[in-house]
Structure 1
Amino acid sequence: MSTGRLTALVAEDEAPQRRALVEQLRAAWPELELVAVCEDGEAALDAVEEHRPAVAFLDIRMPGASGMDVARAVAAHGGMVVFTTAYDDYAVRAFEAGAADYLLKPVQPERLGQAVERLRQRLAERNGSPAADLQSLLEGLEARLRPRGEQLIRWITASVGESVRMIGIDEVLFFQAQDKYVRVATADGDAVIRTPLKELLMGLDPDTFWQVHRGAVVRVSAIDRLVRNELGRHSLRLKGHPEVLPVSGAFLHRFRGM
């Protein structure tokens, strides 16, 4: 975490809301130095490593790495987190008294002012282990945000040429973003859907499917091995399938111990 300066990072994938939050922050907390304003999770992860901000304002759901992934990196450097979300989720509200706070979108100046005051107080106290507290809170939040059984996707209605195919979720090996479509790969062939990968992720069991790249989500049981090439880039080999999927640095933590 930066010392001597009070630094912050903002990560929000929707441009109008990103601009509005930056303007409101500058008005509510003039001495706060915004060292990075990011439009996706991977850029935010890079910025956290470079700047180690004292505070991060993160959209929970972003392209690439999620706000949860970025929050873990912030916590590792002893920083504090404020999540932004479009949903008044009880799991997020449970964090009001902890090492993280939340703001409903569109962010209201009065509510931002309350969050700023809480952050000022926590930064002034700095008692205990805020990073450890935040890591613990993140684990609890992630568990609560996971979709419940009845909300999980069970069937995919996908296009195959001129026909429509019903694909059971158990058949899917991986999803891959391709232009305006998402490729659905199974052992019996491919199909395409129009549902954005970001939206699709919200209905997938996170213990069964892992996002490994901004444009790729893979069934964990289909993974054979993680490979690193001479340039230091990582990719996945799948069981019984010729496809090689790229793995970005934002998701390498999933493969520790493999």
Structure 2
Amino acid sequence: MVLNALIVDDEEYSRKSLYFLLQENCPEVTIGAIAKSVAEARNLIEEQQFQLVFLDIAMPKENGFELLPTLQKRNIMVIFTTAYDQYALKALKAEAVDYLLKPIDIVELKTAVAKAVDWAELIAQKDNDQVRNEAIRKEEKSSRKLSIPSTHGFNVLETDDIIYLEADSNYTNFHLKNGEKVIISKPLKEFEDSLSNVDFIRIHKSVMVNFKFVQGYSNKNGLQIFLTNNVNLPVSRRRSSDFLDRAKQYFNR
């Protein structure tokens, strides 16, 4: 991971020195811009996206701490760079990645950058997990109900109420846990994509079952499964490997 960084320092020598040190020793960082003041830094942050700011503290007009609300609003990490050690506690309370005293030591700089990269990767992983979990929740929510056509409109079935589906030419028989059988004038293929995301699996060209109602299987006389409604169904040889893999995943989760 490469972080786009902003250097904020009112002293030209400090800006150039830090830029050189980063260029020579920290390939994980790209310097996207350099600012001479907090006001200039705010403008740059409005124009560009930064993951990290190297921030001096003692500057004219506004000190580095006055930039923190802008950085926190955008979740930008900060490494303080200052010649004064009396700000260390305040910097830590501001949840800075690190606090470097000038003149900046190369080893300490590399350690601080490594911390920033670790933080960024953790944040990215957390964000990815949240996005993925939200997508799964939305998918499950939308897939828990299945709309099926009826003579005068449509009916809605809870997928958890469906034990298995059975193809019958261009019709599909829905076998429900209450013992009912609902016949729909659509082929089984029409339902396969929407149901495969909610624990259903095609075990035969004519049958799709809900893992929730599978209570066992045997390969004694060809692979077959036993359902909770006392129905036994064969698994085709072509689909047996996929069924066994999915069964292990389902029952071990």
Both proteins in one fold, TM over 0.5? no
TM-score by length of 2: 0.45
Between Structure 1 and Structure 2, the one with more helix by share is 2
TM-score by length of 1: 0.44
Greater Rg by CA: 2
Q: Quick one: higher RCO (CA 8 Å, sep 6+), 1 or 2? A: 1
